[in-house]
Every structure is written in C-alpha cells, then in structure tokens.
C-alpha cells in the first residue's frame, strides 16, 4: 500500500525548493511583462535593461525607457515576478530628454541566462571566482549595437570595508558580449 503522507511531503519539499528558482525571471521575461502591461510607448522607448545580484538571474529587473512625458525624459520601471512593482521618473543622472539610444526589440537578443553561462565559462577559464553578476543591456556608444555588460562580484568578507567604513563587495571582472551574436566583445 502506498503511503500518501510521505508522497505529499516529498511533493511539497520539491515545490518549496524549486519555487524560488522559478520566480527569478530572465531579462526577456521582464521585457515581456512590459509588453503585456499595455504600455507600447514605453516598450518602443526601451533603452536599458539592468539587473543586480544575479545568481544567475536577479530578483528584479530595472527597465529604463525614454518617455517624453517624464520630467527627466526617462521612466524607470522595476519588474519582479512578471509584474511592474515600481515606476518612477528619475530627476538626476540623465542628460537631455529621452536621449538614451533605444534597443531594437524586433531582432532576437542574447538572453541573460546564456550571458551568465558565458560569463561563468570565462571566469572558470581565468580562475576567477565570483558570487553574483550585475547585468546591463544597452546600446554600445561606439558601435551602435546592443551590448550586454556583465560585472562579476565577490561578496566581501567581514574585514573588507570601503574608505567610508561601509562593507563593499569586490568587483573581480567585467565582460562585454554582443547581444545580437553572443560573441565576447571584451574579456576578463
């Protein structure tokens, strides 16, 4: 006779372990959330996709969109679990109104999961350990092509402090990849 309780317990353990892994979406999921939100003007003005503390994917993605109705010309959206959870219009750190080059979403782009795998392979090849990745997808100012930038960080130990006394994680490498072809543009 099959015992139901051990099976149920195993099923709930499996769900509890895998649910957090599924909740972290890739960059394309964040872009799709904006698409499904019915905001075509922001989708057309998408200029940058950022994610912090990815291991491999971050909990939240930040989308920067050109928006002529915003005081700074930029609208920032935070996407988590396929929903827009925050929307703001930064008033500093951007010059011009809607001046950021826009990403062309009509072409397929390298996914953040593939980017993490490529960055991990490069780090292994260079004997560099890292704990998380900060991502940025934007247009390269030199080539005009979409570019992924992956910054690899090592979590600081107790004694590692910045000059202002705050704990600061250590940047151990920066990689750049063509978002169109996946080719490494700048290695470690």
DSSP string, 117-164: HHHHHHHHHTT---SEEEEEEEE-TTT-SEEEEEEEEEPPPTT-B-TT
Q: Does the pLDDT at position 161 exceed 70?
A: no
Strand ordering across the sheet containing 170-178:
83-88, 74-80, 61-66, 46-54, 132-139, 146-154, 170-178, 184-186
Return mean pLDDT, the chain.
Answer: 84
Q: Is the sign of the CA dihedral 113, 114, 115, 121 positive or negative?
A: positive
Q: What is the mean pLDDT of residues 87-96?
A: 71
**pLDDT at residue 98, rounded to an integer:** 56
* In the predicted structure, residue 122 carries a pLDDT above the cut 60: yes
CA within 13 Å, CB half, 60: 10
Residue 137 binned pLDDT confidence (cut-offs 50, 70, 90): very high
Quote the percentage of the chain above a pLDDT of 90: 63
By the 8 A CB rule, do 135 and 111 touch? no
Determine the average pLDDT of the residues in 8-18.
40
pLDDT of residue 44: 92
- As a whole number of angstroms, the distance between CA 6 and CA 36 comes to 40
Q: By the 8 A CB rule, do 99 and 47 touch?
A: no
> pLDDT category, 188, cuts 50, 70, 90?
confident
**pLDDT for 72 beyond 70:** yes
Whether residue 109 contacts residue 179, with contact meaning beta carbons closer than 8 Å, is answered with yes
| Cβ 57 vs Cβ 64: under 8 Å | no
What integer pLDDT is reported at residue 99 of this predicted model?
73
**64-72 contacts: CB < 8 A, separation 24 or more?**
64/100, 65/34, 66/98, 66/99, 66/100, 66/102, 67/41, 67/42, 67/98, 68/97, 68/98, 72/97
For residue 22, is pLDDT > 50?
no
How high is the pLDDT of residue 94? 53
Among 18-27, 43-52, 113-122, 126-135, the minimum mean pLDDT is found in 18-27
pLDDT at position 183, please? 93
Q: How far apart are CA 82 and CA 84, in angstroms?
A: 7
Residue 15 pLDDT class (50, 70, 90 cuts):
very low
What span, in angstroms and rounded, lies between the C-alpha atoms of 23 and 79? 12
What pLDDT does residue 40 have? Answer: 87
């Amino acid at each position: 006779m099959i015992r139901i309780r051990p099976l149920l317990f195993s099923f709930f353990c499996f769900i509890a372990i895998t649910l957090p892994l599924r909740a972290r979406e890739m960059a394309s999921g964040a872009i799709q959330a904006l698409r499904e939100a019915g905001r075509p003007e922001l989708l057309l003005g998408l200029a940058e996709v950022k994610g912090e503390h990815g291991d491999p994917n971050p909990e939240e993605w930040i989308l920067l969109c050109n928006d002529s109705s915003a005081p700074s010309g930029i609208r920032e959206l935070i996407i988590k679990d396929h929903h827009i959870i925050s929307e703001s219009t930064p008033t500093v750190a951007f010059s011009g109104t809607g001046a950021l080059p826009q990403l062309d979403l009509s072409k397929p782009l390298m996914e953040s999961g593939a980017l993490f795998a490529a960055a991990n392979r490069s780090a292994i090849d260079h004997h560099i350990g890292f704990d998380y990745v900060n991502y940025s997808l934007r247009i390269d100012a030199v080539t005009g092509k979409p570019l992924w930038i992956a910054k690899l960080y090592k979590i600081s130990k107790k004694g590692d402090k910045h000059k202002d006394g705050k704990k600061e994680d250590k940047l151990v490498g920066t990689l750049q990849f063509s978002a169109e072809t996946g080719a490494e543009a700048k290695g470690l």
